[in-house]
Structure formats: C-alpha cells, structure tokens
Structure 1
Amino acid sequence: MTHGFPDLPDVDALLSSGWKPLAFQQYIMKIHSRCDLACRHCYVYEMADQSWRGQPHRMSDAVADRAVERIAEHATRHDLPEIDVILHGGEPLLAGAELISRVVRGIRGAVSTGTRVNVNIQTNAVRLDEEYLRLFESLEIRVGVSMDGYAEAHDRHRRFSSGRGSHAQVSESLRRLTAGPYHHLFSGILCTVDVRNDPLRTYEALLEFDPPAVDFLLPHGNWGSPPPFRVPGSEATPYADWLITIFDRWYGSPVLQTEIRMFREIMRLLMGGSSRAETVGLSPVRMVVIETDGSIEQSDILKSAYHGAPETRLHVLRDSLDLALRHPSIVMRQLGERALSLTCRRCDLMSTCGGGLYAHRYSPGTGFAEPSVYCPDLYRLISYIGERCERDVARLRGAG
C-alpha cells in the first residue's frame, strides 16, 4: 500500500497565504466524566486513552461558567447565526439538573441576541425520568439516546458493571420520552453496529420508538487495534453487508420511516453536496470538546487511537477557543483533500468517503497517514448506494 501524507501544517504559513479557519459551530461539553453503565465497546473507558481516570467526576461550577463565557465569546467574535451545544459524558444525567440548567441558561444568556443556541443531550437514558423530561421541556433541550436494538443485541455490550443488561430500563425511558407529550424533544438514536446482531431485527426494534433519526456507528478501531471482525488488509466487507441490508429496507420503504444519517450523508455527497458529519466527506470539522476539567480538546473519538490523542494543552480558564482554531491538529481537520493519504487522494470515491472517520485512520507506525481501517466496507457501501440511486434516476428519466 502506498502512502503520502503531509506533516502537521505550518499554520502561520497557511494564514499568510490567505487561508482562514472556520469557527467552531459545535461544542461538546463533558459535564460528567463517569458513567452508570460499563459498555464493552465504549471508547472513553475501554480503549487506548485512559485520561478519564484523572478527570473530576463532575464539571465544577467555575469551569462550567468559564466554558460558557468562552463559547459565547467565540460565537460573538465570529458572528455565528447558530451554534450547537451537546451535553455529553460519561453520562451527562449524572451531573444533575442544577448543573445542566446552569450551563444551558448561561449559554443562552451570554451569546449575542442574533445567535440561536441549539442544545442536545446524549444519554444512555437509564436515568431519564419524568423530572428530567420536564426540565428539558422547559430548557428546550433535545434528547439523543444510545440504544443498540432488540434486547439481546443491546445487552451484548450495554450493561451495568454487575453484568446485567440495560435494555429493559432504556426501553422504559424511551417509551416515556416518545409516547407522551415529550416526543418533540427526541432527536434520535445512536446505535453501534455489531455484525453478530441481525440487521433487520435491530432496525425494526429501533423503529418501534419512532425515532426522527438513527445514527448507525461503526465500532471504533484502527490499524493497530482493529475493530471486531474487521481484519486489516482483508477485502471482506462485513460492516457494509450489514448496513446494505438495512439500506435496502430503508430506501425501498414507500414512506420515510426515519432519517438514517449515514445513508443520507452519502447520498448528499454523491449528488455533489457537502457533508454535515465527520464520518464521511471532506467538509471542515467545526467541532471542539470541553472536557470535565476544562481542557479544550479535539474530537473525543480520538481516545480510541492512543493515550493523549485528543489533547491540545489548552484550557478554558486561560485560553480562548480561537487559540484552538490555530492548533495544527485541528487545522488538519479543516484542510479537506490536503489532509488525506495518497491512497485516498487516488481513490475515485475520495470526495464522498473523505477517508472515513479520522480516528479510524490511525496506525501506530504512521499516525493518521492511512485510509480508514474500514476502507473496503466504506468503498462497497458507497458504491452500492451510488449504483442503486443511479438505477432509479435512469428509470425515472426513461419513464419521462
């Protein structure tokens, strides 16, 4: 395999040439660093970076207030019409209603009147009770839930530390969210793919909760620590095969049952549009993480690569988010094609695939100078979706 990869960029030279970074639009705030589940596939606790062990359990009020100020400062300085704040963890509900309210009210009060603040919380839903739902209603917080499908599929990984599965409790919470007056707060379901689970049973189990959107996530891994059933160098495509089964059901449905973001993003890119997700495409990444202790970091998914991978050595108590925009690793995520390996740049699907998720490119020998460890799966999935859509376009033209 041939590789060509630039060193980390000379940011001053880029700026002198007229290049400008795009301001952060999405802010992930890790308001609690621990979790009440012990999921086997969790990149925060079970993979290479173990920095969670040194994090405070809960974001302090002082750090939360300063993080709010930094976000508002950045949004105002760059005149952003809209920002997304995602409350994350660990399990963010462990932080408690008081801190959640403090952060959300603080940000909405601090940004300029011309900036809309969208707030989402990503939860395992174990603690999603009526009291929390009333709070989220009052604060206009949308709720994303992590669920892996039917009971056996979900409980394969998403368990309590005792080994007991969480499906029953998560299902009860989802019914509380979706069956009553709070359905409008529901933003969707995150489902981590396990190819041992039946794809259609998984999809149908998620549809029971009428999700507005579903994100199917490839389990995190890389060339040094491959994901389950993904053998580096093998041309087998177990993940594409699994996802294609669901794509056929979703795409062939006479009515839109839900949005599946991965499929929709691929279709948008194939039609010449730009990506709105970091999983595919070449759109600049405009996301930053504020850790529980106030550290400013890159995507937390990088924790799956090696210890310290997301670090920038910046902190909200002393550094502005504009400084993070100049960090070479963050700049790399905004350079599009120039940040890809030679293998990716020579690929006919480069503009659609975009090299896949950045963390999945990591190799202990070459850093992020590789295609995705899921390269064969991504190539097959994108090609399949493209061919299926092309056939339908040709059929429509013939009928016209």
Structure 2
Amino acid sequence: MNPEGASWPTVGLDVEGLRRIGWQPLPFVEYVMKIHSRCNLACDYCYVYEMADQSWRDQPKNMDDQVFTDSCKTIAEHARRFALPAVNLVMHGGEPLLVGHEKLEYFARSARELLEPITKVRLGIQTNGVLIDKEFLRICDRWGIQVGVSLDGDRKANDRHRKYRRGTGSFDDVAKGLGQLIGGDHRHLYSGLLCTVDVENDPIETYEALVQFGPPALDFLLPHGNWTTPPPAKTADATTTPYADWLIPIFDRWYSAPEVETRVRLFDVVIKLLLGRNASTEAVGLAPVRLAVFETDGTLEQVDELKSAFAGATKIEQAATGNPLDEALWDPHVIARQIGIEALSDTCRACPLHNVCGGGHYVHRYREGTGFRNPSIYCADLVKLIRHIESSIRADITSAAVG
C-alpha cells in the first residue's frame, strides 16, 4: 500500500476551502534542473540513490537538449504570467558535471537566451567537485554560473561517506577541484560549501577544515531521515540531542571569532528569525517554499529530499493541459509548504519557538500513516540549538546596553 494514500496533506488539507477564502499560492521562483541522473560517487547517505525512492533507475542518464529547452520555456511562461522579476535555476544531479563541457555550455546558453528576455536569471550548479577543470570554469565564467561544492570536512571526515564506488575516498580530487575554483580568476564563481553532518566527526575540526577552503558561505545539512526511518544517531529516545550537541560548538567557534570567517546559513537564518526579521531556508522558519524540480525526462516534481520519505513522495500529478508549473501550485504538497503555521502539528503550534523553528525541515516530519503533520525528528535538537543561539544573542545585547 502506498503510505501517502491516506496521510496528510493528501488527506486532510482542505484545498477547496483555501480557494473559497481567496488564498493564493505563490509562484515558483527556484528551479532545480536534474541535468544528469547518475553520480560518479557512492555516498552512503545519499537520499537519491540509497533511500526509499529508487525512481532514479527509470530516468534517462542525461537531460536531452529538447527537454531542457522545453523546461525553460515552461519556466518562462510561468515567470511571464506572474511577472517574476528574477528566478534561480540550479543545475543538479546526480553529478551535473557528468554531462560534459559541451552540454553544460548548451544548457547555460539556452537558459539565458530563453529566460532573460522575461526575467533575471541567477544560474548555479551544485557539484561534488571531482570533475572541476579549467574548461568547466571557463563555461561557468562565461555564462555566470555560481558553483557550490559538497564537502564533509577534512580527508578523514569527508572520506567516511563520500567515496567512489571502488571504495576510495574523494577528498583529494575535491580539494584539487576546489583549488582551481578558488585560485586564479574564478573565485567570484564560488558560492560555498555544503556539508552533511556526521556526529562521528569532530565538529571543530570539520568546521576549520571547511574554512580552510575560504567559502563565502557554509551550509550544514542534517542527514535526511524521519520518524519511520530515523537518521543516524537518533534513537527511540526523542529527547536526545546529538545534532545540537555537534552544531553548538561550531556556533560558538563561529560566533566568537574576532573576524567573520564565513557565513553559516543555518546560524544566520536562526539569528534573523530570533530578531524578528524575515529569512528563508527549508531547514527552519515559516517562509513559503517556492521550489520545483525538473527531472532528466522533463517530469515536474517536488524537492528531491522527499525521496528519503517513501517512493513517489516527490510526485506531482501532471495536468493534461495548461502550464504544469501553474497547475502544480495547487498540489496539496506544494500548498502544505506555503501555508506556514497552518501546516504545523498541534505540538509545534503550541511551542513558543514555532516562528523560528517552523517545524523544522518538512522532509523530517514524515511518519508513515500520518504523513507530514508531525514535529521534526530533530525537534529536540532544534529547540536546544535555537535556545543556545538565543542566549548568546541576548548576552551580547545586554552587554552592549550596559556598555
């Protein structure tokens, strides 16, 4: 039985009721293009290849030129209809650089030619870094593609999970690729590093190893898991906080540094939300998620982290006519990620931190049988981390007032 068939938001979210009261979804402004569906690494925590949804096996390896063009035209129509001033388009995989130099240049050129007459386009690519070379960087420079790289720390930390299929680690090749990116004339293309948290690694050593590569920003990603399939280090005792205990030393090291070493997206957003400002990230907060994914066959789907929940979790019912992006705005799963507090469980709504935490990442709320209207599997970790950051900010504000 498909567990999604009888769980929230497929069942229980009153879409017609929202229509009646005049609620309107916000258009998509972020797009992930899965230009290659395979990878040259075999990371054992990968939500695409190692978890519940194995639909990657049915996808073409490469996105066809015509599929990419058609997808851009779909985005262009959506942008025109909603008068979007700008959109973000990130080329992703698998490993996107496996498409090769020629295809990457075609995709970048096509995206700009098809979209820029209608809206400003910010192009990006998220790569494991092992294939970065001078020609890729030339293409990225010519077409203004910002480059994000996935790296989990020093050699020992990174190679614990981020290995080639033959079992050897990827750190040396990633470091070589990063060296080309941050050296010479290409540093302006560098958008930052993405690190998946492993509590078996030393947090300070991990942070300092990442900072050695001079990232303009760091993203710490909690391993994708949920109440049905818990992430590593989470046990039946929901009060344990191994991930907060790992992140808090990094926060203290980052926050107390005499000079700003890098931006840490999770910490930045939590601080802004605690101060009552607007901030946007999938990990925390109540800001509407406005992201759509085009698979290599052109299928429109939700954010691919949902593949960690169950097979088919990313699927959007395809409309027979009309722009698929326009129609997808009324999919219950898309709506659930745009209605803020109304999507939270009663437990979350009663919590004084709900405006900051936002229930945590939507993916981490899943429980078979009830769906996504639950607290995050990381609830205790998020509370401890947010309270710690709040205490640090309050101490600084008090000190400044006294001074």
C-alpha spacing 1:8/1:31, structure 2 compared with 1 (3 Å)? farther
Structure 1 residue identity aligned to 2:350: R
Alpha-carbon separation, structure 1, partners of 2:96 and 2:321: 21
Compute the RMSD of aligned alpha carbons: 1.6
SS in 1 for 2:317: strand
Instruction: Give the match for residue 149 of structure 2.
Output: 145
- Aligned pairs for 1:132-211 (under 5 A) are 132-211=136-215
Deviation at 1:63, TM superposition (A): 1.0
Deviation at 1:182, TM superposition (A): 0.4
Alpha-carbon separation, structure 2, partners of 1:96 and 1:189: 22
- Aligned pairs for 1:25-64 (under 5 A) are 25-64=29-68
Bigger drift between 232-241 and 285-294 goes to 232-241
Deviation at 1:236, TM superposition (A): 1.6
Alpha-carbon separation, structure 1, partners of 2:184 and 2:280: 30
Q: Per-residue displacement from partner, 1:98-154 (whole Å, max 9, x unpaired)?
A: 332222222222235462100110000111111100110001001000000000000
TM-score between the two structures when normalised by the length of structure 1 = 0.96
Instruction: Give the match for residue 386 of structure 1.
Output: 390
SS in 1 for 2:266: helix
Instruction: Give the match for residue 327 of structure 1.
Output: 331
Structure 1 residue identity aligned to 2:397: V
Q: Per-residue displacement from partner, 1:340-399 (whole Å, max 9, x unpaired)?
A: 110110111001000100110011121112100001000000010011101110110111
Alpha-carbon separation, structure 2, partners of 1:43 and 1:180: 34
Alpha-carbon separation, structure 1, partners of 2:215 and 2:391: 27
Instruction: Give the match for residue 4 of structure 2.
Output: none
Among all aligned residue pairs of Structure 1 and Structure 2, give the percentage whose two residues are the same amino acid.
51
Instruction: Give the match for residue 17 of structure 1.
Output: 21
C-alpha spacing 1:362/1:138, structure 2 compared with 1 (3 Å)? same
C-alpha spacing 1:338/1:69, structure 2 compared with 1 (3 Å)? same
Instruction: Give the match for residue 131 of structure 2.
Output: 127
SS in 1 for 2:318: strand
Structure 2 residue identity aligned to 1:365: G
Instruction: Give the match for residue 355 of structure 2.
Output: 351
Select 1:286's aligned residue among 290, 312, 327: 290
Q: Alignment length, in residue pairs?
A: 396
Q: Is the 8 A contact 2:163 2:170 kept in 1?
A: yes
Gaps of 5+ in 2: 1-6
Instruction: Give the match for residue 92 of structure 1.
Output: 96
Q: Is the 8 A contact 2:344 2:359 kept in 1?
A: yes
Deviation at 1:319, TM superposition (A): 4.5
Structure 1 moving runs of 4+ over 3 Å: 4-8, 315-319
Q: Is the 8 A contact 1:288 1:299 kept in 2?
A: yes
Deviation at 1:16, TM superposition (A): 2.8
Instruction: Give the match for residue 274 of structure 1.
Output: 278
Instruction: Give the match for residue 377 of structure 1.
Output: 381
Deviation at 1:316, TM superposition (A): 11
SS in 2 for 1:311: coil
Alpha-carbon separation, structure 2, partners of 1:267 and 1:304: 28
Select 1:241's aligned residue among 245, 249, 262: 245
SS in 2 for 1:313: coil
Alpha-carbon separation, structure 2, partners of 1:317 and 1:135: 36
C-alpha spacing 1:112/1:123, structure 2 compared with 1 (3 Å)? closer
Q: Is the 8 A contact 1:284 1:335 kept in 2?
A: yes
Structure 1 residue identity aligned to 2:186: Y
Alpha-carbon separation, structure 2, partners of 1:294 and 1:5: 27
SS in 1 for 2:44: coil
Alpha-carbon separation, structure 2, partners of 1:315 and 1:30: 21
C-alpha spacing 1:264/1:223, structure 2 compared with 1 (3 Å)? same
Deviation at 1:315, TM superposition (A): 7.8
Instruction: Give the match for residue 105 of structure 1.
Output: 109
Q: Is the 8 A contact 1:76 1:112 kept in 2?
A: no
Alpha-carbon separation, structure 1, partners of 2:175 and 2:210: 10
Q: Per-residue displacement from partner, 1:292-315 (whole Å, max 9, x unpaired)?
A: 111111110000000000001328
Structure 1 residue identity aligned to 2:255: Y
Gaps of 5+ in 1: none
Alpha-carbon separation, structure 1, partners of 2:12 and 2:81: 27
SS in 1 for 2:193: strand
SS in 1 for 2:316: strand
Q: Is the 8 A contact 2:79 2:118 kept in 1?
A: no
Alpha-carbon separation, structure 2, partners of 1:324 and 1:88: 21
Structure 2 residue identity aligned to 1:94: L
SS in 2 for 1:180: coil
Alpha-carbon separation, structure 2, partners of 1:157 and 1:317: 44
Instruction: Give the match for residue 79 of structure 2.
Output: 75
Structure 1 residue identity aligned to 2:372: F
C-alpha spacing 1:114/1:365, structure 2 compared with 1 (3 Å)? closer
